[in-house]
Amino acid sequence: MALLKSVLLQRALCGSLSSSSTNLLRLKWAHFAWSQSQSMSAFAAVMSPPSKAVVYENHGPPDSVTRVIEVGPVEVKEDDVCVKMVAAPINPSDINRIEGVYPVRPQVPAVGGYEGVGEVFSVGSAVKDLSPGDWVIPFPPSFGTWQTYIVKERGVWHKIDKDSPMEYAATVTVNPLTALRMLEDFVTLNSGDSIVQNGATSIVGQCIIQLARLRGIHSINIIRDRAGSDEVEEKLKKLGADEVFTESQLDVKNVKSVLATLPEPALVFNCVGGNSASLVMKFLRQGGTMVTYGGMSKKPITVSTSSFIFKDLSLRGFWLQKWIIADKAQECRRMIDYLLRLAKDGKLKYVMEMAPFDNFHNALDKALGKLGSQPKQVIKF
Ligand SMILES: NC(=O)c1ccc[n+]([C@@H]2O[C@H](COP(=O)([O-])OP(=O)(O)OC[C@H]3O[C@@H](n4cnc5c(N)ncnc54)[C@H](OP(=O)(O)O)[C@@H]3O)[C@@H](O)[C@H]2O)c1
């Protein structure tokens, strides 16, 4: 919030954030003037270092509305913690927030990003249980993680084990937690049961495979038709996938015939929609449930009348943000620690690519799919 205020303040000082290089100079000057006035009026105040942030002042295509700007120092009040960000991912929901199509999003102008990991840089005088050098993640996750320094009150930071692998600490909250919750919340699964999912190459998908395997649950995984699908299949099988199919391989009358000895699934996870959702639904047994948690194809879900009448299928939805708000923050923090222990022990892995902050827009292009299928982009500050 403090940094956002700072951005707003600078915007007021500069008039507008458009036209990059001239404005950068004006911003630098504004930051300097602003920080000087702050230090004169409150000479005892502890200030954060200046920060660099990915900001957008209007909603729209992320590659055209986002810019990296410099943000002036902000005061670290007595209950605040100043965190030097270490890494933060670019998730599909971050893109949707910038586009303005996500139901909950910060007001513009805003700093991008929602999760990440950082190192405590300094603490306010009333903060006794965090020290410089500690590693923290914002939990519940909060807006504005794509910046080099963040100042927020102590309560929003969850201290994590410093031995946690950095890229997993940066990405543990949104996707692995979603995978863990969805395996728990909808259908009682026992060892030997099976589940089906599309979007199996996503981080959520990779986590579902491994978390299911840890509980003895089989997974049937659908991926897009794409170049290199054989290698993708091999990688997912190494993670513990029982079966991996491309959508076109399932273009058969009776998809269940491909299941061989696996039991008919009672639970399906859908993050794609369109034809892919129709395909995964065909695997469901009588009375089964499809949980939709994403819509990567941007296409609607079509369900046949007979699926409802003769198979009594249930369609449900999952949204982590709502789940966390429902008074589950403490429980979630324990789950985060559990997932980070799994990552540290090598029991939870997923493919990521570290991207230098200086090259943010290249990472953004990859996350937007402009360069074809790419691993999850994680900004390294
Ligand atoms: N509801 C919630 O609370 C919640 C929480 C977390 C995530 N999610 C959602 O879960 C989904 C996966 O997130 P993530 O961060 O794990 O993904 P990710 O690692 O960034 O991977 C993106 C996935 O989407 C697929 N994809 C991209 N464009 C597609 C298209 N046009 N048609 C079909 N598939 C496409 C990719 O397939 P390729 O590998 O073939 O490129 C890949 O599997 C997203 O929809 C996200 O919004 C929802």
For 346, phi then psi, to 5°, come to: 75, 15
Q: Report how far ligand 1's centroid is from the alpha carbon of 38 (Å).
A: 44
| Residue from 204, 225, 365 whose mutation best tests the ligand 1 pocket (most atoms within 8 A of CB) | 204
Rounded distance between C-alpha atoms, residue 18 and residue 16, angstroms: 6
Q: Whose CA is nearest to atom 18 of ligand 1?
A: 202
pLDDT at residue 43, rounded to an integer: 54
Q: Which of 282, 240, 277, 275 is nearest to 259 (CA)?
A: 282
Rounded distance between C-alpha atoms, residue 284 and residue 269, angstroms: 11
pLDDT at residue 26, rounded to an integer: 39
pLDDT at residue 328, rounded to an integer: 80
Q: Whose CA is nearest to atom 39 of ligand 1?
A: 201
Residues 6 or more apart from 371 whose CB is under 8 A from it?
365
Residue 114: DSSP 8-state = S
| Residue from 211, 223, 224, 269 whose mutation best tests the ligand 1 pocket (most atoms within 8 A of CB) | 224
To the question of domain 175-321 being in CATH 3.40.50.720, the answer is yes
To the question of domain 2-172+368-380 being in CATH 3.40.50.2300, the answer is no
| Prior bond of 138 cis (ω within 30°) | no
- Ligand 1: which atom is nearest the Cα of residue 200? 43
Domain ranges in the chain?
Answer: 2-172+368-380, 175-321
Rounded distance between C-alpha atoms, residue 303 and residue 281, angstroms: 9
Element (H, E) at 67: strand 66-71
- Cβ atoms 121, 82 nearer than 8 A: yes
Q: Whose CA is nearest to atom 8 of ligand 1?
A: 294
Q: Whose CA is nearest to atom 31 of ligand 1?
A: 297
Residues 6 or more apart from 34 whose CB is under 8 A from it?
6, 9, 10, 13, 72
Residues of the chain with pLDDT under 50: 1-5, 7-42
Q: Whose CA is nearest to atom 11 of ligand 1?
A: 294
pLDDT at residue 312, rounded to an integer: 96
Binding pocket residue ranges, ligand 1, CB within 6 Å: 91-93, 174-175, 178, 199, 201-204, 223-224, 226, 271-272, 293-294, 296-297, 318-320, 369, 373, 376
- Ligand 1: which atom is nearest the Cα of residue 350? 19
| Residue from 198, 235, 296, 298 whose mutation best tests the ligand 1 pocket (most atoms within 8 A of CB) | 296
pLDDT at residue 44, rounded to an integer: 66
In sequence order, the β-bridge partners of residue 119 are 84, 135
Active site residues: 102
Rounded distance between C-alpha atoms, residue 196 and residue 258, angstroms: 13
Q: Report how far ligand 1's centroid is from the alpha carbon of 201 (Å).
A: 8
- Ligand 1: which atom is nearest the Cα of residue 295? 45
The pairing of beta strand 194-197 with beta strand 267-270:
parallel
pTM comes to 0.89
